Amino acid sequence: MGKIIFYEGRNFQGRHWECSSDCMDTFRHFNCCNSIRVSGGHWVAYEKSNYNGYQYILGPGEYPDYHCWMGFNNCVRSCQMFPPYRGSYRMRIYNRPDLMGHTMEFMDDCPNLSERFRFRDIYSCNILEGYWIFYEHPNYRGRQYFLRPGEYRACGDWGCHNPMCADTTELCLVFCKAPIQAGSIKRTGTARYLAWSELNTVTMGKVIFYEDRNFQGRHHECSSDCPEMQNYFSRCNSIKVESGCWVAYEKPNYGGYQYMLHKGEYPDYQRWAGFNDCIRSCRMVPPYNGNYRMKIFERSDFGGQNMELMDDCPDLHERFHTRDISSVNVMEGYWMLHEHSNYRGRQYFLRPGEYRRHSEWGSNSPTIGSMRRVTEIN
């Protein structure tokens, strides 16, 4: 389980706040951040709320002032813990948007991109396997950009306002692997770079979408998150999940109806409780073998009656005596909320983190009838 502590003063002084899950807005916990301790897990801290602004990669250790994490200022407003990974690493970069133009595939670190790619602009990339960090300047310096598996069709998708230019602000790549052998942990001054330890092996997932029922017609294989799939198929009437757990979404960028997909075959869209034959994005649920814990609240911003859950709940009204859930704090594990009892109706996938209002998990209404943990045996 990860744990990070933010301190308002340097050298771990002043008001502080401990965090063990994703947090979209830390403003109510501290005003400024001048030192950090990471006692478990690996994290991305963001300058602004909702995971925006400058990004800082934090591995286990102590950071007595913000220069030690290469900070541009003492402002940290959100944070995410990223999942353990010990698989392969593979990514492709492109010198035009929408995964077009000249391309190059990487499977290892690159301290100076212009020496290997020899093109001016990096507009898009496809992270096929593993977690990667982009750096603004050679030798792992400057602004950092954390990339999960998935397609990034424009530089704005990874938080950059302009494409990287190889002759002025070269883009550097470093991957995160476990464990990093001696000599491969890079440092600039006191800044720490990423090392993994005590991590679980990850098996890459695979899902196949078919345009027609019974696995007929045009199809598309996917092994990583994809925010837009309209280029691959026009409709989806059957699905095969060969490995992993997935969430399919009705609309691009993980919007609209949500459907949890476990390993198996779905010969028509009713089998995954689909409302129509439209699938436009998908993401893989990271493998997880830990505990499950979440707290639900009757009102927004964690107000009103609340209850903590550590197991499945087929009928929320019987236990909580209300059907309105307006905010949730997922402390451990991945969960699925269902609109009706006995896991029926619309589904809402929740990662660890704070959800201050029901719209943050994609719902237009606070009504929830049941909820359960996302496990391989669901």
What's the pLDDT tens digit per position in 100-153?
888 888 888 887 777 777 665 788 888 888 888 888 777 777 788 888 888 888
CB 230 within 8 A of CB 252: yes
- State mean pLDDT over 352-374: 91
What's the confidence (pLDDT) of residue 157? Answer: 85
CB 276 within 8 A of CB 251: no
pTM of the model: 0.53
CA separation for the pair 261, 288 (Å, rounded): 16
The least confident of 38-42, 133-137, 317-321 is 133-137
The least confident of 224-233, 235-244, 331-340 is 224-233
- State mean pLDDT over 61-82: 90
Higher pLDDT, 90 or 85: 90
| Ramachandran class of 159: left when φ > 0, alpha when ψ lies in -120 to 50, beta otherwise | left
Architecture of the domain made up of 90-170: Sandwich (2.60)
Q: What is the CATH number of domain 293-373?
A: 2.60.20.10
CA separation for the pair 250, 209 (Å, rounded): 13
CA separation for the pair 373, 357 (Å, rounded): 20
Domains 3-81 and 293-373 share a fold: yes
What's the confidence (pLDDT) of residue 119? Answer: 62
Nearest to 195 by CA among 128, 133, 287, 112: 133
- State mean pLDDT over 8-29: 91
- Topology (CATH) of 206-284: Gamma-B Crystallin; domain 1 (2.60.20)
Where exactly are the structural domains of the chain?
3-81, 90-170, 206-284, 293-373
Q: What is the CATH number of domain 3-81?
A: 2.60.20.10
Both tokens of 374, joined, read: 């996302």
pLDDT tier at 204, thresholds 50, 70, 90:
low
